[in-house]
Amino acid sequence: MAAKLKKGDKVVVLAGKDKGKEGTITSVDPKAGKAVVEGINMAIRHTKQSQTDQGGRVPKALPIQLSNLAFLDANGKATRVGFKVEGDKKVRFAKTTGDVIDA
C-alpha cells in the first residue's frame, strides 16, 4: 500500500500528550506504522560520556503512531490524504482542498 505520510511532510498531532503540536516528519517506519516527528514525543535519554561527545541528559524524539498524525494542507488545517491518477502518475491529494500534494 502506498504511504499517505512521507518524510518531509508537515503534520499535526491528533492524540496524546503533544496533541495540537505541529512538526515535520524526519523518518517513517511503515512496517511498524510509526513516524518520528521533529520536536514531538520527546524523551530524555541518559548517555554515557565518550571521547567524542559530552554525554548527560539528551532529549530525543521517539516514534509516534501514524494514526495519531494528520497532514497539514496549504491552509494550515489538518486533512486526510487520498490518491488519484493524473495522466499516468498516481499522486497524493488533500481531501479538504483537493490540491495535489506531490506533483
- pTM of the predicted model as reported, rounded to 2 decimal places: 0.84
Q: What is the pLDDT along the chain (103 residues), one digit of tens a residue?
A: 568 999 999 999 999 999 999 999 999 999 999 999 999 999 999 999 999 989 899 999 999 999 999 999 988 899 999 999 988 999 999 999 888 987 5
In the structure grid, which three cell numbers stand for residue 80, read together? 486526510
